[in-house]
Amino acid sequence: MSVVTTNNNSRHQPDRRGHFGPYGGRYVPETLMSALNDLDVAFRTAWRDRIFRQKLNEELANFAGRPTPLYAVENLSEELGYPVFLKREDLLHTGAHKINNALGQALLAQRLSKKRIVAETGAGQHGVAVATVCARFGLEAVVYMGVKDMERQAPNVSRMKLLGAEVIPVENGTQTLKDATSQAIRDWVTNVRTTFYLLGSVVGPHPYPMMVRQFQRVIGEETRRELRRREINASVLIACVGGGSNAIGFFYPFLQDDMQLYGVEAAGEGIATEHHAATLSAGRPGVLHGSYSYLLQNDDGQVSEAHSVSAGLDYPGVGPEHSFLRDTGRVRYVSVTDEEALQAARNLCRYEGILPALEPAHALGYLRYLDKKEIGDGAVVVCLSGRGDKDLQAFIEG
Amino acid sequence: MNLRTSLHDKKAKHEKVLSCFLTAGYPTREATVPLAKAIARGGADLIELGVPFSDPLADGPVIQRSSLRALREGTTLPWVLDITSELTAELSIPILLMGYLNPMLAYGAERLLKAAKEKGVAALIIPDLPIDEETDLWNQAAEMGIPLVPFVSPTTARERFAMIDRKAKAFVYAVSITGVTGARKSLPTEVEMYLKELTQNIKAPTLVGFGISNPDEAARMAKHADGIIVGSALLSQIDEKGGIDENCQRVERFVREIKKAITCLSPTGENK
Ligand SMILES: Cc1ncc(COP(=O)(O)O)c(C=O)c1O
């Protein structure tokens, strides 16, 4: 539909209006257009502002606990026959990479003098991160969460409440991340003058996909620095893809390098069934939640229900930059089933003493499908985007 | 006569326009044609047929519910197009389609414009398509005489008014308040100021909608615009378990009351 930008260089995306090739843009009600413009300007100004960046870096270091380790998992490496490293985002404060973005946007909300924050959450990790930064900066937090997710990620609901956030159950539609996002956007449209929408992934209308990527690229930058310092030759990077924020943050600094990048989506009960969330493998481009991107939908353009054991990956859309990287072939998007992810998580726990969240367990689950020729004498690095305390129930039951 | 000309005509005669929104396929597909006819009998000047979408971002609970129900009833865009041609054959008022972008993209934008032309659709309203995106679609639609209707809202930057005016080949849809659709008991007082500023700066006919729930509010809003749009309040007249005839009667009565309230405003004033 949209005009394809002639510049296919991944580093130069998006264009000024938020298009990654044909994807992205701003497909929102007119009421939000001026808020999105203001946000775009505020973000660009802040990002160039040394003082803002310094403040953000201090918070990332002292509050969130950056940098995170790049850790060699020896038992797993031995079993697989090639070296595997984990980028330990699970060790961050609140237990996932989501805090990187939440801190950045909370500082922006302060610059814009917005005191009320709304957010959506699936796994509850973003919700907890939002509740946390709001407690830290004295902001009001309102988090929308599907009732199905409130059940399966109950510990995070209690955490959010303890942190002072209002958690609003969403009973509409799928009762998961998709409808929580719609409800958060409706709140924002209604209260746009006083409210900042703290979106949790690289989805939504411009500038969110670009902005959230910039806040998450610290994952990849630290990884790159550490690989250099320790003279590790990495040939493959793997990350899970829900909306795609940990993956793009991890991949972005490596897009010009020649290593193979894998984005792992949730195959649920299998992508041949109707019960999966493998948007890039099985979807078609369309518009949901403000941007043009791959989407799980039926022939009539109605959005399909996604399915995954992982609440954080249970979403029928994906960030527009991933759609672009899929089409250019720079990143390969693959998928891993519920069962495989659960098994990979249990193994990491049992043999390495690390309990991963269900989301990055999908990235771990792909390890056994890697082609040894592709790895060569290099190493594989997996982004361990979060820890699994919230998922204990699923690991024990499943 | 095209839609814009007929709206300008009404404007010249100081006749306020009443546009009524009805989710196609709600509460059942059989009910759509009779309900649309009831709306016309009640005195509506335009009908907006809502094409249901699974994720109606700009809508409140009433239209969300009606959309999901219509989808369960098997309502699709091709079906709504067919119904439109049935209605245009029988009714003398213009039929517009209102719906979210994705089902239209899935159908094919160009194919949709062609079908809309063939079936007699007067214009398209797409709440998640701002004037900044899909330039080709905006232009092609204007060329083919199936104009897209741009929105303006209380938060719209004044610099955008001229651009929006230029895009408006039929009329401008003025959203009364920041928020989603859904009846409000009354609208805040800032609305009047905003509508005044808007109509001073925009040449295209302006219809105001979102939240208008009763004859008093209808009259209040119509005073400051060329017409009004009523949606959720009308859908609320429909009893999902009720019979078609009964629902049609209620809807017709409701439309007539609203129409009467805004007709009293015209200097020529007599009620129909
Ligand atoms: C630990 C963890 N990883 C990954 C995700 C998926 O989000 P994204 O693809 O934006 O990284 C989530 C979402 O809740 C999460 O909690």
In this predicted structure, what is the pLDDT of residue A398? 64
Token readout for B152 is 């303006």
B residues 152-171 lying closer than 8 A (beta carbon) to A: 152-157, 160
What span, in angstroms and rounded, lies between the C-alpha atoms of A139 and A213?
23
Would you state the torsion angle of the CA atoms of residues A382, A385, A389, A394, taken in this order, to the nearest 10 degrees?
-70
Q: Are A67 and A91 contacting, i.e. CB atoms less than 8 angstroms apart?
A: no
Q: Dihedral of CA A111/A47/A387/A359: which sign?
A: positive
Task: Give the number of residues written for chain A.
Answer: 398
Q: Are B107 and B78 contacting, i.e. CB atoms less than 8 angstroms apart?
A: yes
List, for residues B188-199, the tens digit of each pLDDT value. 999 999 999 999
The reply to whether residue B133 touches residue A25, judged by beta carbons under 8 angstroms, is yes
Mean pLDDT over B103-117 rounds to: 98
In this predicted structure, what is the pLDDT of residue A13? 84
In this predicted structure, what is the pLDDT of residue A11? 66
What span, in angstroms and rounded, lies between the C-alpha atoms of B127 and B200?
24
What span, in angstroms and rounded, lies between the C-alpha atoms of A336 and A319?
19
A residues 302-341 lying closer than 8 A (beta carbon) to B: 302-303
Confidence of residue B264 (pLDDT cuts 50, 70, 90): confident
Amino acid at B54: S
Return the closest-CA partner of residue B15 out of B205, B252, B257, B216: B205
Q: Are A383 and A116 contacting, i.e. CB atoms less than 8 angstroms apart?
A: no
Quote the ligand 1 centre to A385 CA distance (angstroms). 7
Token readout for B186 is 């009354």
The reply to whether residue A303 touches residue B104, judged by beta carbons under 8 angstroms, is no
Count CA atoms within 13 Å of residue B234 on its CB side. Answer: 35
The reply to whether residue A27 touches residue B180, judged by beta carbons under 8 angstroms, is no
Token readout for B108 is 């094919």
What span, in angstroms and rounded, lies between the C-alpha atoms of B58 and B71?
17
Amino acid at B234: L
List, for residues A218-277, the tens digit of each pLDDT value. 999 999 999 999 999 999 999 999 999 999 999 999 999 999 999 999 999 999 999 999
The reply to whether residue B178 touches residue A193, judged by beta carbons under 8 angstroms, is yes
Would you state the torsion angle of the CA atoms of residues A210, A212, A214, A220, taken in this order, to the nearest 10 degrees?
-120
List, for residues A167-218, the tens digit of each pLDDT value. 999 998 899 999 999 999 999 999 999 999 999 999 999 999 999 999 999 9
In this predicted structure, what is the pLDDT of residue B69? 97
Tell me whether A54 touches chain B (CB under 8 Å): no
Residue A10 has pLDDT above 80, yes or no: no
Supply the ipTM of this predicted assembly: 0.95
Tell me whether A118 touches chain B (CB under 8 Å): no
List, for residues A276-326, the tens digit of each pLDDT value. 999 999 999 999 999 999 999 999 999 999 999 999 999 999 999 999 999
In this predicted structure, what is the pLDDT of residue B183? 85
What span, in angstroms and rounded, lies between the C-alpha atoms of B255 and B239?
16
Tell me whether B65 touches chain A (CB under 8 Å): no
What span, in angstroms and rounded, lies between the C-alpha atoms of A15 and B113?
29
pTM higher than 0.90: yes
Buried-state track A141-169, b at ≥16 Cβ within 10 A, e below 16: bbbbbbebbbebbeebbebbeebebebeb
Q: Hey, whose CA ends up nearest to atom 15 of ligand 1?
A: A312
What span, in angstroms and rounded, lies between the C-alpha atoms of A102 and A165?
14
The reply to whether residue B155 touches residue A192, judged by beta carbons under 8 angstroms, is yes
Instruction: Identify all chain A residues contacting B155, using CB atoms and an 8 Å cutoff.
Output: 30-35, 192-193
User: Which residues make beta-bridge pairs with B23?
Assistant: B50
Q: Hey, whose CA ends up nearest to atom 5 of ligand 1?
A: A312
What span, in angstroms and rounded, lies between the C-alpha atoms of B106 and B109?
8
Instruction: Identify all chain B residues contacting A288, using CB atoms and an 8 Å cutoff.
Output: 55, 102
Q: What is the CATH number of domain B3-263?
A: 3.20.20.70
Largest CA distance in chain A: 56
Share of chain A above pLDDT 70, in %: 97
Residue A55 has pLDDT above 50, yes or no: yes
Q: Which atom of ligand 1 has the smallest separation from the CA of A123?
A: 14
Phi, psi of B177 (to 5 degrees): -140, 165
Residue A7 has pLDDT above 70, yes or no: no
- Domains in chain A: ranges and CATH: 20-60+98-212 (3.40.50.1100), 65-95+216-397 (3.40.50.1100)
Query: Parallel, antiparallel, or unpaired: how do β-strands A84-88 and A70-72 relate?
Result: antiparallel
Q: Are B51 and B76 contacting, i.e. CB atoms less than 8 angstroms apart?
A: no
The 3-state secondary structure of chain B reads: CCHHHHHHHHHHCCCCEEEEEEECCCCCHHHHHHHHHHHHHHCCCEEEEEECCCCCCCCCHHHHHHHHHHHHCCCCHHHHHHHHHHHHHHCCCCEEEEECHHHHHHHCHHHHHHHHHHHCCCEEECCCCCCCCCHHHHHHHHHCCCCECCEECCCCCHHHHHHHHHHCCCCEEEECCCCCCCCCCCCCCHHHHHHHHHHHHCCCCEEEECCCCCHHHHHHHHCCCCEEEECHHHHCCCCCCCCHHHHHHHHHHHHHHHHHHHHCCCCCCCCC
**Catalytic site includes residue A385:** yes
The reply to whether residue B55 touches residue A301, judged by beta carbons under 8 angstroms, is no
List, for residues A69-85, the tens digit of each pLDDT value. 999 999 999 999 999 99
CA angle A152/A156/A159 to nearest 5° reads 150
Residue A9 has pLDDT above 70, yes or no: no
Return the closest-CA partner of residue A219 out of A242, A247, A240, A260: A247
Q: Which residues 6+ apart lie within 8 Å of B255 measured at CB?
A: B18, B20, B38, B39, B41, B42, B43, B44, B230, B234
What span, in angstroms and rounded, lies between the C-alpha atoms of A348 and B213?
58
Q: Which residues 6+ apart lie within 8 Å of B164 measured at CB?
A: B131, B150, B151, B152, B156, B172, B202
Cα dist. A258→A262, A330, A371, A374, A393 in Å? 13, 9, 16, 11, 40
What span, in angstroms and rounded, lies between the C-alpha atoms of B190 and B179?
14
In this predicted structure, what is the pLDDT of residue A12? 72
Active-site residue, selected from the candidate residues A98, A148, A178, A390: A98
Residue A5 has pLDDT above 60, yes or no: no
Tell me whether A116 touches chain B (CB under 8 Å): no
**Catalytic site includes residue A269:** no
Q: Is A312 in the pocket of ligand 1 (CB under 6 A)?
A: yes
Neighbours of B188 (CB within 10 A): 13
From A299, which residue of chain B is nearest by alpha-carbon distance?
Answer: B106
Determine the residue of A90, A125, A354 to mutate for testing ligand 1's pocket, defined as the one with the most ligand atoms within 8 A of the Cβ atom.
A125
What span, in angstroms and rounded, lies between the C-alpha atoms of A112 and A114?
5
Task: Give the number of residues written for chain B.
Answer: 272
Query: Parallel, antiparallel, or unpaired: how do β-strands A379-384 and B17-23 relate?
Result: unpaired
Quote the ligand 1 centre to A359 CA distance (angstroms). 6
- The answer for A353, left when phi > 0, alpha when psi is -120 to 50, beta otherwise, is left
The average confidence (pLDDT) of chain A is 96
Q: Are B164 and B152 contacting, i.e. CB atoms less than 8 angstroms apart?
A: yes
List, for residues B193-249, the tens digit of each pLDDT value. 999 999 999 999 999 999 999 999 999 999 999 999 999 999 999 999 999 999 999
User: Which residues make beta-bridge pairs with A43?
Assistant: none
